[in-house]
Chain A
Amino acid sequence: MLGQNIAFGVIALIMMMAAVQVVTSTNVVRAALSLVIVLAGVAAQYILLAAEFTAVVQVMVYIGAVVVLFLFGIMLTRARIGHESDLDNSNKIPAFIVSFTLFVLLIALLRDAFGRQKIHVAAPSNTAQIGTAIFSTYLVPFEVASVLLLAALVGAIVLARRD
């Protein structure tokens, strides 16, 4: 248990630093790479929570696809790879106030609600359960999600293509 706790602490620390880097970095690419770290950290946390399948999907979809998309986006919009001073707008202070207040609020709520309740991680390998549930109980959202992806595909192409 202790190992898990230490692992959580270390990963969480890295994730937080990386996350801050994502939103403050003056370099677009560095921000994207920091995002990769956060996403990977999330995947690691999934493993800690015995959700390996989700962790794998996280790595494949996010790091494998989404971040690549971002990098493409960065290139296509010709952002300078190097230092860029004006990535932030003039709302930094209000933005900080809002997000910090939100943070305080959430922490207070969560403390109030869950206190020090523990997670008892069940035996790993519930992938079969997930598969069964998706194809029975969550059949409809699954099918719909497939159409959604198709629609997003078609639409994104139409929008993004040059005519």
Chain B
Amino acid sequence: MVLNWFLFLAAVLFCTGVYGVLARKNGVLVLMSVELILNAVNLNLVAFGAFNQTVTGQIFALFVIAIAAAEVGVGLAIVLLIYRNRQSVDLTGIDALKG
């Protein structure tokens, strides 16, 4: 297998995620897009690990997975918080702080 196949796939996921983060306005969907990005990173790490013949890549990926889970939890908590105060998860309306 060619290394770059995996890397290109990861790049696609990464950029798709970036698009999602920038273009979605529902907070939950933005978080999902973030997950896409993180998975791209993980795919990269595992592929590189295999490429370099080391488990370090996998270990790194495992840490990312664990922490990403925590991040999502926190993110959802914040989105919920916002929803509770604003009755909406529309990110575009959140611009009270600016300038």
- A-side residues, CB < 8 A to B, are 1, 4-5, 8, 12, 15-16, 19-20, 22-23, 28, 31-32, 35, 38-39, 42, 45-46, 48-51, 53-54, 57-58, 61-62, 65-66, 69-70, 72-74, 76-79, 86-92, 94-96, 98-100, 102-103, 106-107, 110-111, 114-122, 126, 129-130, 133-134, 138, 141-142, 145, 148-149, 152-153, 155-157, 159-160, 162
Contact = CB atoms under 8 A, between A and B. Distances in A.
Interface residues of B, number: 69
B56 A23 contact: no
B42 to A, nearest CB: 7
Interface of B: 1-9, 11-20, 22-29, 31-33, 35-36, 39, 42-43, 46-47, 49-51, 53, 55-56, 58-59, 61-63, 65-74, 76-81, 83-84, 89, 91-92
Nearest to A146: B66
A22 B36 contact: yes
A155 B78 CA distance: 10
Sorted from nearest, which 4 A-B pairs have the closest CB atoms? A23-B20, A95-B22, A152-B70, A156-B77
